[in-house]
Structure 1
């Protein structure tokens, strides 16, 4: 029974890593770090594995992640750094990552102050006349079948009129694994509004889904797979880890 309990060295490492990761986030509902090693290996700077499990992690741009799981093995650390309350890697390592975003998470990001500012004062042409539009409300949906869908209310500043913009599309991961683009875009009844506005919304959708939003200090992610289900998006990725954030 006692063999299953983490050693004092592991407990200290877990706490340091948890505090460091939490310092990179705006909010955390739950965050657990499980580092496997033993006293002899730790003195030599060897760690068997690091497992990170998080729920309700809020990152930059008010982007919330429902679930984040990360696993890395054969990690080399500077044993002296632990005494200073840090985990310093002596060489980079690779990690596998799984992240789940819900429909509510992405709607939260779209309607955050950060993104709303990006969708204000868009200059477009309506019937050959230049106008300025502001996005009032964005409703992002994950209807299933590998698609995303978006409805937005926009106001023409010059007239105060409210118009609706809608489209659905299929997200695709770029060859580099760093960005997401929207393909097979199907437009709703966008009335006489210029496609420039719809394009701005498409670009903002791609930006929210880009993995650069999920990068933490010392970690760079590359998407392997993007799975769209009804109500949620599941990302499978690899992480190049140069440092584990320290508080």
Structure 2
């Protein structure tokens, strides 16, 4: 078949692009490429579906620099094509890649959504009471600086306000990100403080838990598509997650 998509493919490509865009707060670029032909469509067969996106912002102000999802041998309901949709007749597997930049992760840490709403759960920071220098105190994060310096590590430098005294404390450490056993989250291991001291194990744990919360891959699931990480690559300035996607439905208009 020719490289340029046929009319049926173009219609489906646009329908999926619209369906995906409706789930996102911002989209810089989104490209859907469906490979099939008219005869295969009649029999409910699609050779491949590729979804590539750049600058995709999910709810909660979580941004992906890049998203790529690749599916092969997709079985669909041929009747759904008449309505410009792709209705899967059975779930399928896909390969996915998510790239997060240093700036993306900092944006999530310091976003108004996370400050006002997201910090409220027990694993998060806002207004938690924890022990700092032996005293039980309420903490408020002022700013979190997240860095990807290379060498397979992440680094955090956080300014935390101690409400009762009004003083600010600096917390700085590096750690090695590891994929959790269930493949849904990234945890931080082998914490090192360098020249600074640990002022509170509880505060360190709260920051580590918050990082895991932001890097929870469920945050990046789309409707009908859930991701499970099987490989993590840490480079200077960016974090690349290789994942397997369980696809129950492909979003479409």
Task: Name the TM tier (shorter chain).
Answer: over 0.9
Say whether residues 1:182 and 2:188 are aligned partners.
yes
Q: Return 104-113 or 185-194, whichever deviates more.
A: 185-194
Secondary structure of the residue aligned to 2:103 is helix
CA RMSD of aligned residues (A): 1.6
Q: What is the 5 A alignment of 1:70-219?
A: 70-117=69-116, 118=119, 119-187=125-193, 193-219=199-225
Could you give the per-residue CA deviations for residues 172-195 of structure 1, whole angstroms, max 9, x where no partner exists?
112321221111011356667422
1:87–1:246 Cα contact (<8 Å) kept? yes
Secondary structure of the residue aligned to 2:2 is helix
Q: Which runs of 5+ in 1 are unaligned?
A: none
Q: Which runs of 5+ in 2 are unaligned?
A: 120-124
2:132–2:203 Cα contact (<8 Å) kept? no
Aligned pairs, number: 246
For 2:201 and 2:64, the matched residues in 1 are separated by: 31
TM-score by length of 2: 0.92
TM-score by length of 1: 0.94
Q: How far apart are 1:239 and its partner, in Å? A: 0.3
The residue that corresponds to 2:237 in the other structure is 231
Secondary structure of the residue aligned to 2:207 is helix
Secondary structure of the residue aligned to 2:14 is helix
